[in-house]
Each structure stands twice: as structure tokens, then as C-alpha cells.
Amino acid sequence: MSQQQNNYRNQEEEIDLREELGKYLRHWPWFVTGVVICLITAFLYLKTTTPNYDTVASIIIKDEESKSPSSELAAFADLGLLSGMGTNSIENEIGILRSRRMMNNTVKALDINILFFDEEKIKSSELYLNVPYIINVLQLDEKSLSKVAAEEFNAFRIEQDGENLVLKNTETEKVFKGRLGKPLNLGFADIIIDENPEFAVEEEGEGPEELVVKFIPVDAVVGRYREKLQVNLTDKNSSLIELSLQDPVKAKAQNILDQLILEYNREAIEDKNLVARNTAEFIDERLQIINEELDSVETGKEEFKEANSLTNIEAESELFIANASEYNQRQQEVGTQLELATAMIEYLNSGTESDLLPANLGIQEEGVNEQIQQYNALVLERNRILAGSTEKNPVIKRLNSQVDQMKANVLQGLERMRSNLRIAQQDLNRQAASIGSKISAVPSKERQYRGIERQQNIKESLYLFLLQKREENSLSLAVTAPKAKIVDRAYSSSEPVSPKPKIIMLAALILGMLIPFLVIYIKNLLNNKVRSREDMEKEIRQIPVVGELPRITGNEAQIISKNDRSVLAESFRILATNLQYLLINAGNKEHGIKLFVTSTVKGEGKTFTAFNLAITLANTGKRVLVMGGDLRNPQLQRFEENAKEWQGVSDYLVNDNIQIRSLIRSSTLHENLDLLSSGSIPPNPSELLRHKKMETLFDEVERDYDYIIVDTAPSMLVADTFLINKFADLTLYLVRAGYTEKKLLQFPVDAKNDGKLHDVSFVLNDVKTAYFGYGNKYGYAYGEEKESFWGRMKGKAAMW
């Protein structure tokens, strides 16, 4: 039993799947139309859209702190020329490459805010480099240009007549006249237009038929390309950076990336040379001071000799000086170091926080040299980050704190160094005094002369030392290498990255099928009306559907005729045949079968169904009577003229002198069809229908007719149908597709369960061709020619 249930469930799921697919497959023309439209749209999009190409360049950020001594600059590392110039973290370098300042410098260097277009083609294409003119901007007002560009008044059509030029605004038609090589004022800029000799050579003087130039604000161009620029680290453990840019013009994108790398290297070199420049300034300043002091000492020496008539004091005191030479040399070295320490302390106290300290001056204290290098590195890092940020940046505040602390450490180290040098100098002086006691015999003039000479030697050695350092510093400026090593110069892909034809066409194909699917799905989801037999069978199972009637278009007859072969006639024949299986409960009556036709609300096709069913039965040779059972709103006159003026059921019920046979009239629609109208509209229809004569009426007509078809009132609006339904052998309950709401299907079910209606069967009226089974699914229409493809398409469109 369980296996049978599973099979039954699987069969139901398969049937449901087929039904769901059928909902969409019956609208296949719309899927075909949607796919065709989307593919055509995609084709036009591909033809009119400018393709974008991917341009890529790659660089390596050099880390100078990790260089080996065998590198190309190892010889200068021994001189201490490259210390303090290490790179920042790789993330900072990526941030600099992405900065607005870098892109702004690139845009200005390439003048890519001036664009040339060829407007004669289907899609406006930018001309880059290969243009007939070169525009040099003498002066540009960015604010005025931004205002003009916002109103799209920044495009000009260029026309040339010999040396004369005419620039016409494409929007305002305002004309600006000028000459080649002469300044021309456009309001927001002063420009000079010259012919491009390279273009003339390459294109043999032939240019675009309609050349348009556009002036774009620099900030707008910078913002646009900053959004397009991608800077990525290829691997977290390396310093290899890949720069990519998507643009319709390959050469333009390549130049932008190459120029961006150039601007980055130029700025990096300037940062590296900043310490060397400050050192050069310091050395030049000290050389000037030492030169003046040296001149003063030599002049004093000369005057001393002249005043004391001295010629060769060295030869006379050679013996004594030989013993004191070692101390003199040490005193010179200590004096030089003390002079450097004092000068560095003065420079440190008088400088600002952004100034760099002179490096590599020959200070012998290694700890002090290392502190100076660390201080310069911190100042460089803070200045570089501050160029793209503000003082409120937490990183800047942290670096300021570190700079102040390091500056204090440097100052403390220099003070300690100077203190140690003074102690050493005092010790040397004491020892020199000891030696001096041994040469006390030397005249005081000799001692004075030696003091002057000692000062001269100190100044000379310091002067020569500074000259050497200045040359070394100049050499470091000359050999500074770029920070970014180019691995691959910018190159562009041969195939466009967007739009991609295959993807666009595939998306169009999917979209062409998806749009009709969604429309049909949403339409089905929001639809609350009965459309097909399947909808009814899903909602109710207690009442069978005995027949389906097709929709009648405006040019089709609503009443079937004799020997009619239309789909409408066939559907009523099927309905009449199905009724034979339902009339078993009528006791196998051979005549006098009473068929009641009713519905939930008005407008669902009761009268239409009653007449056509009557004619169908009459065509079989049966005698049929159509009775108007709706005393409130008679409708028989729709198909039988003057029927509304006839006396009928209501007149029979209120007048005992009227015989029922005198009220029955022959129909003009068929010789076997008679009519009994509802008669005059009474004020109390419900009371009349409760009259005992109703039973007499049905008894009399049963004897004369094979079928009595009663067109009753809507069941939900009035109770008239419920009052006479006990006389019915079969009740046909009309449901109109696309008109009756699904929730109203429960009403006849409840009426049947409550005993108000009996022997009820549904008839679905006004079924659209797409939902009508007969003659549609299998392509068979009795007695009709098969409709053309465009006819079926037209029918689908009308259905929507």
C-alpha cells in the first residue's frame, strides 16, 4: 500500500510539473519575441558601445635598507650617503600611488583634460594623439570651466579655412574665430591651436569629417581616473605592485600608467634628496663661517710676525715641538669634534620640527650618528604622510611625538658628547701645560705664535673636511636611483574587457526568456480569477465540470446555427453529450427533463448558455423550451426580439385565468425551440416563486417538451434560484473565465452542502484559446482551416 501511495504521489508531482510547464509553454510566441528583441537590443548595444581595454603595468618598490653591499650603490654606502632613506611600508606606497596629488600631476603632465572626438561615426570615438591639431593652454579658469561643463557647454566643433579657425559651441552655437598659432579666448581659457605635423605625415592630411574638442575640468578627470585605477599587491610577501586601468583608448591608458610611475619616482627622488639638500645648505653655511675665521687667524699670524720681526720660529723651536706634537694632534682632533658638536647643538636649537639634521659630518660618536639618522627618517616619513593628510591624523600625532622624543635624544647625545670632549680637552691642556713647563725657556712670543698657528691648523682641517663632505653630498645627489623599478611598462589587452559580446548575447538570451517568464509568473501570482478548468479543479472537487465554452470574438456569432461546425457548436455538443451521463439521477426520464442554468453573479453567460444549449438539443430532433426564470432582470430579449414585452411566468403566477400554453411562443432561432418569457417584472419575485402554481407550471410543460431549460437569476445576489431549484433535474452552474473570482467558487459548494442546490455541475464559459483544450492542444478544429502562425501570434497578443 505504501508503494502504491508513493507511485501515486510521484504521478501527481509529474502531472503538476507538466501543468506548470504548460502555463509557460502555451505562451511560447512571447518567449520567442522576447529573445529576438533582447538579442537585437544586445547587438545594437554592442555596435554603439565603445569597448574598454585593460591596461596593466607592474613595478617593484625598492627596499634600500635591505640592500646588500654588492648592490650598485654599495660603494656609496661606505660613505654613509644613503643612510636614513629607507622605504615606508608597502601600504603607504600604494596609498601614494592612489593619491589625488599623483593623478593630478599625471593629468596635467599629459593634458588629458582636453579630448578630441570624431562625431561622424555611429558611436562617438575619442581621438588620442592621432589628431590634426595640438592645443596649448595658456591660461585656464577651473571655476568657469566647471560651470560651463556642468551645463554641457564645453564642446566645440573645429572648422578650418586656410589659416583661419572657427570653433562653434555644439550646444549654444556660439562661434569663436581665430588663427593657427594665435591666442584664442574661449571665456574660460586662453588657448593656442597649432597643426599636428605627425598627424599630417601619418594620415596624409586626411582628418575626421566632424572634429569636436571638449575641455574637462582637471578635478573631474582626476576623479574619474582615480576611480578606474587599481593598485594591487601581487603577493603579501613581496613588494611587486600591479597597476591596472580600463579605458577605451589603449595608448591613453598606457601613457597614464607610465606617467603615474614617472611622477611617483620623481617625488620619491625628491624625498630622498631632501636630507642631502639640507646637509649641503648646512655645509655651505659652515664653510662661510670657517672661511671668515680662517682669514682672521692668518691675518693675525701675519701681523704677529711683522710686529715681532720673526722669520723661522719653527726651526728654532723644533726640538721642543717634537715632544709636544702628539698632544697637539690630539688637541686638534678634540677641538674639531667639539666645534662640530657645538654647531650641531646650535642648529638643532634654532631649527623647526620639519627641518632635517645634517648627516655624515664626521662626528666620531657612532651613537649620535645613529640617533641623527633615526631622527631624519622619522621627519621624512611624517612629511610624506602629511602631504596627503592633516595634523589631526592620529598617525601624524604619533609621528610628531616620536620626532620630539628623538630630537630630545639627539640633543642629549650631543650635549653628552660635548661634555666628554671638554673633559678630554681639559686633560690634554693639563698635559700640554706639563710639556710647556719643560720648554719654559721658549720665549713668550713663541708660545703666542704657536697658539695662533694651532688655531690656524684647526680651522684649516675643519675647512678641508667640510669641502670633502660637500663633494660627497653632491655626488649622492647625482646618483640617486628611482624608488620604483619598472618590471613591465604599461601594455593593453588585445581583446576588450567590456562589453564582452559572448556574455552580452548570453545575458540577452537569458533576459529574453526571463522577462516573459516573470511577467507570466507575476500575472499568474496576482490573478484571482478563474481562467481554466484546472483552476476550478484545484479549488473545488465536490462539483464536476461538465463542459467548457470558448471565448467568442467580436466577429463571431453568439448563437450557433444548424449544421454549425465551429468550435462553439462542438463545445455545446460535448456539453449536451456529457449531460446524458449526469441525468441518470433524473430517473431515466425520456422527456420533460428540466435543466436550470444559474451562476454566482450577473454577466457570467447564463442566457447565452441556455439558448445555445437549447438549440443544440433542438438540432437532435428534441422539442425544447427555454423558460425565463429571472423575474427581476429578464434577458431572453437579447436573442429573441420583443421577448421583454411578452407575458410570461410572472403573469401566469398572478392570474389564474391565464393558461400556460397561451404564453408559450415559437422561437425564430429553430423550429423545435419554444420560448416562455419571464413576463412582467413583479414587485415581489420571491413571493411569486413560492406560489403553488410553480409546480403546476412545470408539470404542464413536462408533458409537452423533452427539455425545459430555465434561465434563472444569479444565486449569490438573490434567493430566487434557491426557491425553485427543487424542480430541477440538473443544475448547470456557470463560471466565466477571467471574470469570476476564485473565492466565489466556494459559494455553490456551500449552497450544495446546505441543500439549497442539488445535482449541480459546473460549466466554464468564455475560455481563452490558450486554456481551451478542444481543437487547440492537438491542432484539430472540426470543419475549420488551421490558423496561420501570425494569426496565432495575434491571438496571443489579444489574450495578453
Q: How is the beta sheet containing 183-185 ordered, strand by strand?
A: 133-140, 189-195, 183-185
Work out the pLDDT band at 596, boundaries 50, 70, 90: very high
**Nearest Cα to Cα of residue 691 among 729, 659, 651, 728:** 651
Burial tier of 355 (Cβ tally within 10 Å: 0-12, 13-18, 19+): middle
Which of 7-11, 148-152, 521-525 shows the lowest mean pLDDT across its residues? 7-11
- Report H helices in 583-679: 606-618, 649-654, 660-663
Residue 74 has pLDDT above 90, yes or no: no
Beta bridge partners of 491: 56
Is 675 within 8 Å of 667 (Cβ atoms)? yes
Which of 621, 622, 680 lies closest to 647 in space, CA to CA? 680
Pairing of strands 183-185, 53-61: unpaired
Residues 710, 678: Cα–Cα separation, whole Å? 10
Cell of 736: 466565466
CB 489 within 8 A of CB 59: no
d(CA 664, CA 676): 5
Cβ-proximal residues to 132 (8 Å cutoff; 6+ apart), any chain: 195, 196, 199, 200, 203, 207, 208, 211
What pLDDT is stored for residue 71 in this prediction?
37
End-to-end CA distance of the chain: 46
Question: Closest Cα partner for 331 from 429, 229, 463?
Answer: 429
Q: How many angstroms separate the CA atoms of 621 and 458, rounded?
A: 147
CATH architecture, domain defined by 533-799:
3-Layer(aba) Sandwich (3.40)
Q: State the helix-helix crossing angle for 366-387 and 394-438, rounded to 10 degrees.
A: 150
Higher pLDDT, 453 or 624: 624
**pLDDT given at position 72:** 37
Whether 598 has a pLDDT exceeding 90, the answer reads: yes
| pLDDT given for residue 68 in this prediction | 39
Residue corresponding to grid cell 588620442: 128
Query: What's the rounded mean pLDDT across residues 749-770?
Result: 88
Task: State mean pLDDT over 563-586.
Answer: 84
What per-residue confidence (pLDDT) applies to 780?
Answer: 46
Q: Kindly state the greatest CA–CA separation across the chain.
A: 182
Domain ranges of the chain: 2-49+501-526, 52-110+250-317+449-498, 114-216, 320-441, 533-799
Q: Which among 622, 617, 651, 618 is positioned nearest to 634, based on CA atoms?
A: 651
- pLDDT of 439 over the 70 cut: no
User: How many degrees, rounded to 5, is the angle at CA 111 between CA 110 and CA 114?
Assistant: 140
DSSP per-residue codes, 554-593: TTS-SS--TT--SHHHHHHHHHHHHHHHHGGGGTS-SS-E
Query: What pLDDT does residue 38 have?
Result: 92
Q: Rounded to whole angstroms, how far apart are CA atoms 469 and 344? A: 15
Please identify which residue in the block is written with the cell numbers 449569490: 716
Handedness of CA 522, 524, 527, 528 (dihedral sign): negative
pLDDT > 90? residue 57: yes
Q: What is the mean pLDDT of residues 188-200?
A: 82
Specify the pLDDT at position 431.
Answer: 78
Residue 187 has pLDDT above 90, yes or no: no
Give the lowest-confidence range in 58-62, 71-75, 179-183: 71-75
Could you give the CA distance from residue 443 to residue 440 in angstroms, rounded to a whole number?
7
**Quick one: cell of 101?**
596629488
Average pLDDT value for residue range 215-238 = 88
Q: Provide the mean pLDDT of the chain.
A: 80
- Least-confidence region, from 4-18, 120-134, 378-392, 459-473: 4-18
How far are the Cα atoms of 501, 552, 560, 621, 708 from residue 670, in angstroms, in the given order?
A: 67, 21, 10, 11, 15
Torsion of CA 74, 78, 84, 85, to 10 degrees: -20
